[in-house]
Structure 1
Amino acid sequence: MFDAIGNGLYGLIAGFTNLHWSNPVMIGLGCLLLYLAIKKDIEPLLLLPIGFGCILVNIPLAGLMEEEGFLRTIYDAGIATELFPLFIFIGIGAMTDFGPLLENPRIFLLGAAGQFGIFLTLALALALGFSKLDAVAIGVIGACDGPTAIYVSSKYAPHLLSAVSVAAYSYMSLVPIIQPPIMRFLTTEEERKISMGAVKKTVSKTTKILFPLIVTVIGGLIAPQGLPLLGTIMLGNLMRESGVVSRLTKASENEIANIVTLLLGISIGATMDGKNFLTPQTLMVLGLGFIAICLDTVCGVMFGKLLKVLSGGKVNPLIGAAGISAYPMAARVAQREGQKYNPKNFLLMHAMGANTGGQVGSVMAAAVMLSVLKGMGII
């Protein structure tokens, strides 16, 4: 009888006795993510469920990520199948107005230039000894696009999913801090003062409807491996621009996006088990992710300087920094930096064009990379 009572009482402290040193550390990290989300308002929609999922999975003996555990069920349903990031892309497409990009198509080149960080970071990761598939997942952090990073990582390097996801969303939220020093370093004061006139070209509804269709077909033929990413974002945009499925558009922007974001976040947090997360490899992934975002900004601004020369001084190089997928933060950063040096400067719409170009460019860059690697037999 006393043995039974003793065993029963031991069951109440079994969680404490089975704590690995990494579990309290990760619970602390989960609390830090919650603090950043709640107190600092840094990507709260993702960091809050990620942080809570991190806390849950690091409580011993709960078995939440074991077979039939509820976190494992969510993970298998949406992350292992890659459905969650694709649903998010439908919502992103439904929220995105490509009008500023279509008004000034040459700005799309800035969105393409802003993706060079992906390929440079891929090469750097390979040089540091990462496997080819791991390097692909790390390089895509440079897309500055959380869903793209999650999709590629879950497909080709699931063991890096938590590190890649945390890096992607953390650095996206830090764009207003990371980019300005680089923008100032690479441009002169005179360049930052360049005023860009308003684009008077109007875009017809027909053009806006044809755009997602043309991009899907051409992009799919060029890089079929990335068609799930490209097709879902363009489906969302087509629903928006058609104007005939407002219920689906609103649901994609709100209910579907909100539910999937919650499930996506908590399932990513569930991969942050201390024994697997606290490794030198994780620190290297975070470091390479930071380098990727910096390289994106450098390449975008430098290409902006090239466009300035080719246009006879009519393009402000600052908008090149907006050619990433952090929408609309990167465009606002370019606007704010431009007005610091010329209060009459209004770069926002031009920067928004580059920013939406960066959204398409990030997906296309990932698609091209995956298709090339498929052709080489690497994936």
Structure 2
Amino acid sequence: MGEIIQQIIETSGLANLTFNNVFMILLACLFLYLGIKKQYEPYLMIPIAFGILLVNLPLAGMMANQTSENPGGLLYYLYQGTTLGIYPPLIFLCLGASTDFGPLLANPKTILLGGAAQLGIFVAFFLAIVLGMTPQEAASIGIIGGADGPTAIFLTTRLAPELLPPIALAAYSYMALVPIIQPPIIRLLTTKEERQVEMAQIRKVSQKEKIVFPIIVTIFVSLLVPSATTLISMLMLGNLIRESKLVPKLAETLQNSMMYMITILLGLTVGAKADGDLFLSATTLKIIFLGLVAFSVGTAGGVLLGKVMHRLSGGKINPMIGAAGVSAVPMAARVVQIEGQKENPNNYLLMHAMGPNVAGVIGSAIAAGILLAFFS
């Protein structure tokens, strides 16, 4: 009996716990707290955190590879959709079905703000090179500045898959912290008078324009940056399904049930790659630091171009909308709306900010395509 009890103890998870296991389990619980209690990106934070928890439970074998003696763990099979780059494009398909490009079409100049906000990607890229990262690692870290989680995952799985967990967590963490990170940068770079600027109501965009737009963008971007086709085409297909008005049930499915299904699979499998040895390293600290730099510089780049457009337009453009050029949709646009109303209760900037916000989604996908073409 004593031998049986000893064998049970020796083969239990408790007997095989390491410091790294304990640390990662506690980290998973922290992320669960942030996702549930603080509501930081709960749709992704909860499954990512639970994935971290599952993979760090000793002997559970959730991520065990398939062998002749072991059929493989559940998360190992689900992770194939991440490592093969299937989940991020499907997220873009669903995102396209949820996105209204009307504000961008009503004021096409705002696409420049979406482009300027990608500045952080390339600043972080060069900083990462200086800090000793390989070009592939630097590109994967830099894309955090686009504030687009699926794009960061898509690029990282192709260039630096070993860095996927900390990059994914950094990308989604900074997206969740948009209301904390962006306001100080906006206030630092703009004057009170600039923040008070009221913008004229945007024009009504016809359905024909909305239908033609995704087709033209797909053709143009794919010819210009072929490596961005995967993400852009899925984004625009989803948007075309939405704007055609012919298949409302399909559009509804993409916007809701399919989006949630893919999100939980993506989050769970990204978390399941969170190895303690990787997280307790100098590389992770570099990623966290560079991700913050990328996001902050991206926000600043959008605002600074907004100030230029403010001057050139004779004061008709509120430079704060440039902060929405990062592709954290719609959080960044909401931040601009809130900041505008703090300075001027009659200021309604949400729809104006949505133009650069959705342009940022396109911009980050193109930036990822450029980096992929150079460093894959």
TM-score (norm 2): 0.96
Structure 2 partner of 1:48: 46
Give the counterpart of 2:306 among 304, 307, 314: 304
Once the two structures are superposed, residues 167-205 of structure 1 have per-residue CA deviations (whole angstroms, 9 ceiling, x without a partner) of: 011100111110011111111111111111112x22211
Within a 5 Å distance, the mapping from 1:137-286 to structure 2 comes to 137-199=140-202, 201-286=203-288
The answer to whether the 8 Å contact 2:278/2:284 transfers is: no
Once the two structures are superposed, residues 280-333 of structure 1 have per-residue CA deviations (whole angstroms, 9 ceiling, x without a partner) of: 101110111111110011100000000011111111111110111011111111
The separation in 2 between residues aligned to 1:307 and 1:369, in whole angstroms, is: 28
Q: CA deviation at 1:6?
A: 4.6
- Are positions 1:114 and 2:113 aligned together? no
- Are positions 1:22 and 2:25 aligned together? no
Once the two structures are superposed, residues 118-147 of structure 1 have per-residue CA deviations (whole angstroms, 9 ceiling, x without a partner) of: 111111111110011101100110110000
The gaps in structure 2 that reach 5 residues or longer are 66-71
Q: CA deviation at 1:160?
A: 0.6
The separation in 2 between residues aligned to 1:295 and 1:35, in whole angstroms, is: 29
Match of 2:220, as an amino acid? I
Q: CA deviation at 1:66?
A: 1.1
Structure 2 partner of 1:72: 76
The answer to whether the 8 Å contact 1:222/1:368 transfers is: no
- Are positions 1:105 and 2:108 aligned together? yes
Once the two structures are superposed, residues 203-233 of structure 1 have per-residue CA deviations (whole angstroms, 9 ceiling, x without a partner) of: 2111111100100000001110111011110
The separation in 2 between residues aligned to 1:301 and 1:216, in whole angstroms, is: 28
Structure 1 partner of 2:68: none
- Are positions 1:324 and 2:323 aligned together? no
- Aligned Cα root-mean-square deviation (Å): 1.2
- Are positions 1:39 and 2:37 aligned together? yes
Q: CA deviation at 1:354?
A: 1.4
Q: Percent identity?
A: 50
Once the two structures are superposed, residues 326-367 of structure 1 have per-residue CA deviations (whole angstroms, 9 ceiling, x without a partner) of: 111111111111111122212111111111111111112222
The separation in 2 between residues aligned to 1:144 and 1:10, in whole angstroms, is: 46
The answer to whether the 8 Å contact 1:144/1:172 transfers is: yes
Structure 2 partner of 1:8: 7
Q: CA deviation at 1:109?
A: 0.8
SS of the residue aligned with 1:272? coil
Match of 2:260, as an amino acid? N
Once the two structures are superposed, residues 5-58 of structure 1 have per-residue CA deviations (whole angstroms, 9 ceiling, x without a partner) of: 25533345x322221211101000000010011101110011101111111111
Match of 1:172, as an amino acid? M
TM-score (norm 1): 0.95
Match of 2:7, as an amino acid? G
Q: CA deviation at 1:247?
A: 2.0
Match of 1:134, as an amino acid? E
Matched length: 370
The separation in 1 between residues aligned to 2:139 and 2:189, in whole angstroms, is: 28
The separation in 1 between residues aligned to 2:331 and 2:274, in whole angstroms, is: 27
